[in-house]
């Protein structure tokens, strides 16, 4: 699955009930998040529900990052799945150059998120971007 296919799937769904169901289904497809990574170091601050994000990167001047994530809330887990598809496997530079708002505008999701979920989404994106900046700054793998 790609971010483009997710956007296309959202565009095919007429009702917001169907779109929320699809979002929840995306979250269910996330790989299991390792229990040993559920801690303060991976917990995203600023989210009303519990969210964990872990990053791993290659070394070099523009390292490639991969992400694992999870949440205890179904809709938020779906948002995590979209962010994983958008950012995981990309270089730090590409991550920092990617505007997630454009994707969420295309999906039409921004206006359908509660203020708490919107704040949580911003916190998740900032965490991903901070990991990309750190990996790029260090030029060494992070985990």
The answer to whether residue 111 sits within a structural domain is yes
Range in 41-45, 55-59, 130-134 with the lowest mean pLDDT = 55-59
Q: Which helix (H) or strand (E) holds 42?
A: none
Q: Is 47 a catalytic residue?
A: yes
The answer to whether residue 27 sits within a structural domain is yes
Number of domains in the chain: 1
Residues 3-41 pLDDT 10s: 999 999 999 998 889 999 999 999 999 999 999 999 999
Catalytic residue among 47, 83, 107, 128: 47
The answer to whether residue 87 sits within a structural domain is yes
The answer to whether residue 143 sits within a structural domain is no
Mean pLDDT of 67-80: 96
Containing structural domain, residue 110: 3-138
- How distant, in Å, are the alpha carbons of 51, 52, 65, 123 from that of 40? 10, 9, 20, 15
CATH number at residue 35: 3.90.1010.10
Query: Whole-model pTM?
Result: 0.91
Residue 139 zone, left/alpha/beta (φ > 0; ψ -120 to 50; rest) = left
């Amino acid at each position: 699955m790609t971010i483009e296919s997710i956007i296309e799937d959202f565009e095919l769904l007429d009702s917001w009930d169907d779109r929320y169901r699809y979002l929840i289904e995306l979250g269910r497809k996330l790989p299991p998040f390792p229990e040993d990574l559920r801690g303060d170091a991976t917990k995203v601050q600023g989210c009303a529900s519990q969210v964990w994000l872990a990053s791993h990167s290659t070394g070099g001047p523009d390292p490639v990052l991969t992400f694992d994530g999870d949440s205890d809330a179904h809709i938020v887990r779906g948002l995590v799945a979209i962010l994983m598809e958008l950012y995981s496997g990309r270089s730090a530079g590409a991550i920092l150059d990617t505007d997630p708002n454009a994707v969420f505008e295309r999906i039409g999701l921004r206006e359908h998120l509660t203020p708490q979920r919107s704040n949580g989404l911003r916190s998740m994106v900032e965490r991903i971007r901070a990991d990309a900046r750190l990996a790029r700054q260090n030029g060494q793998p992070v985990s």
